């Protein structure tokens, strides 16, 4: 079960695919988060001796993290070798997750987490603007741009005629899509959509890190209905625990000053922002265990797309959460309760949830598995797996 918003998170040979030849320039104290006595660790070590291949792998991984957090190098080396023999990138969900957690732990020990994270690249508002003639969408993770096809098709079919749509697509300069011809390709894709549905679309690419975005870059014009989208991205912007200037809240205040019609937020429902290392490891283990189990329901284990998602997108996040610290740790998730406070402090109010959208999502989830859950809490939709919330979605103005 995900911890409450006001609480710190307190619970929760494989084929190595990560190189270990690079070292981060940022030193870290591996003793952060020490939480057990030598006697307790000794008992755990004795109980884990002769660890079975598929039993209590979570406990073994936690023991590895605890040994590392307490700077017990010999114990860590012994436990991590046991873990290596119990994990597999093609096994059960916990075995696959374990393979990437093992690599993250080793990267943390060898101070190589930052370079590994950089090397691994992920390959993967209608209502508020319904009567507007000029709509400006600012997407803080434009990726391939195909996520807007359904909305653009709906806008094109309006009885009053299609509006003029301007899309500002933001992607960090090292992104797969921002490099080279990537964002230009997004523009061509949107142009094809424009011609297919007969709707005027203007695309403005911005290959800039989110914290560096300024009002001038967004080019907000009078008479436009502004919609801003933060899809699984805002947690990358540092907060007050990393930078005293608090770029995370500063970005929200800047967006609020633009008077948007709607701001949509989708974020992982996990608490890894300010938690110490061992607590963060347990939270990551709990969260991604549910993620990997849910993937098993929808994608075959030998399917290339699943392997690609796990080895690149998910592994990249896991390594950064486990192996990096300070400004190098950019995967800093917060629970919705914290996001809600940040938005309210920036002056936003929540949009009510759409009962229609809720019912549609529930119907789609039932097609995949009865273990998917959808809850409404504090004005947000919480998508989960069994008893673990995974993603929150909310809308603001």
CB 333 within 8 A of CB 344: no
Q: Whole-angstrom Cα distance, residue 317 to residue 396?
A: 27
What is the span of the domain harbouring residue 376?
A: 127-270+334-396
Q: Does pLDDT of 101 surpass 90?
A: yes
Give the confidence band of 126 by pLDDT, cuts at 50, 70, 90: low
Helix intervals (H) in the chain? 38-47, 57-69, 73-86, 93-109, 113-119, 149-156, 182-197, 215-218, 247-257, 277-298, 304-308, 315-323, 336-345, 355-368
CB 321 within 8 A of CB 272: yes
Does any domain span residue 11?
no
Same-domain pairing of 74 and 107: yes
| Residues paired with residue 134 on neighbouring β-strands, in sequence order | 164
Give the confidence band of 127 by pLDDT, cuts at 50, 70, 90: low
CATH of the domain at 233: 3.40.50
Does any domain span residue 148?
yes
- Give the total number of structural domains in the chain: 2
> What is the pLDDT at residue 330?
93
How much is the pTM? 0.77
Give the confidence band of 78 by pLDDT, cuts at 50, 70, 90: very high
The token pair that represents 230 in the structure block: 């933060």
> What is the pLDDT at residue 305?
78
Count CB atoms within 10 A of the CB of residue 186. Answer: 23
Coil, strand, or helix at residue 267? strand
Same-domain pairing of 248 and 113: no
Same-domain pairing of 80 and 137: no
**Percent of the chain residues past pLDDT 90, beyond the cut:** 57
What tens digit of pLDDT does each residue of 22-50 get?
333 333 333 333 343 444 344 334 334 44
Count CB atoms within 10 A of the CB of residue 259. Answer: 10
The token pair that represents 206 in the structure block: 């911005």
Same-domain pairing of 247 and 300: no
Highest-confidence segment of 124-133, 190-199, 306-315? 190-199
Q: Does pLDDT of 302 surpass 60?
A: yes
Same-domain pairing of 142 and 252: yes
Coil, strand, or helix at residue 134? strand
Q: Does pLDDT of 54 surpass 50?
A: no
Does any domain span residue 55?
yes
Does any domain span residue 88?
yes
Q: Does pLDDT of 103 surpass 50?
A: yes
Q: Which one of 313, 328, 343 terminates a domain?
A: 328
> What is the pLDDT at residue 34?
39
Same-domain pairing of 286 and 262: no
Same-domain pairing of 62 and 106: yes
């Amino acid at each position: 079960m995900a911890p409450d918003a006001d609480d710190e998170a307190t619970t929760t040979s494989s084929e190595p695919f990560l190189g270990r030849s690079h070292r981060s320039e940022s030193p870290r104290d591996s003793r952060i988060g020490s939480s057990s006595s030598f006697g307790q660790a000794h008992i755990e070590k004795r109980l884990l001796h002769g660890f079975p291949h598929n039993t209590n792998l979570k406990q073994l991984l936690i023991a590895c993290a605890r040994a590392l957090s307490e700077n017990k190098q010999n114990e860590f080396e012994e436990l991590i070798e046991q873990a290596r023999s119990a994990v597999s990138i093609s096994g059960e969900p916990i075995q696959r997750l374990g393979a990437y957690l093992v690599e993250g732990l080793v990267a943390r020990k060898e101070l190589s987490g930052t370079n590994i994270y950089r090397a691994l690249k992920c390959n993967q508002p209608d209502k508020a603007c319904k009567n507007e003639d000029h709509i400006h969408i600012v997407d803080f993770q434009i990726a391939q741009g195909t996520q807007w096809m359904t909305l653009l098709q709906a806008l094109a079919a309006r009885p009053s005629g299609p509006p003029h749509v301007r899309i500002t697509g933001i992607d960090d300069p090292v992104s797969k899509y921002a490099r080279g011809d990537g964002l230009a390709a997004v523009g061509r894709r949107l142009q094809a959509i424009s011609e297919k549905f007969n709707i005027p679309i203007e695309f403005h690419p911005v290959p800039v890190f989110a914290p560096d975005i300024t009002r001038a870059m967004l080019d907000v014009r009078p008479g436009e209905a502004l919609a801003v989208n933060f899809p699984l991205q805002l947690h990358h912007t540092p907060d007050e625990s990393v930078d005293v200037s608090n770029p995370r809240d500063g970005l929200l205040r800047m967006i609020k000053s633009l008077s948007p019609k709607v701001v949509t937020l989708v974020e992982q429902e996990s608490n890894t922002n300010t938690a110490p290392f061992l607590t963060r490891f347990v939270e990551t283990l709990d969260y991604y265990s549910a993620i990997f189990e849910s993937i098993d329901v929808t994608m075959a284990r030998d399917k290339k797309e699943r392997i690609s998602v796990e080895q690149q997108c998910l592994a990249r996040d896991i390594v950064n959460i486990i192996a990096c610290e300070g400004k190098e740790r950019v995967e800093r998730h917060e629970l919705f309760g914290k996001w809600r406070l940040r938005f309210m402090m920036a002056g936003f109010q929540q949009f009510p949830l759409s009962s229609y959208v809720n019912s549609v999502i529930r119907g789609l989830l039932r097609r995949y598995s009865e273990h998917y859950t959808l809850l409404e809490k504090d004005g947000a939709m919480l998508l989960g797996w069994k008893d673990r919330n995974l993603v929150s979605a909310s809308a603001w103005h």
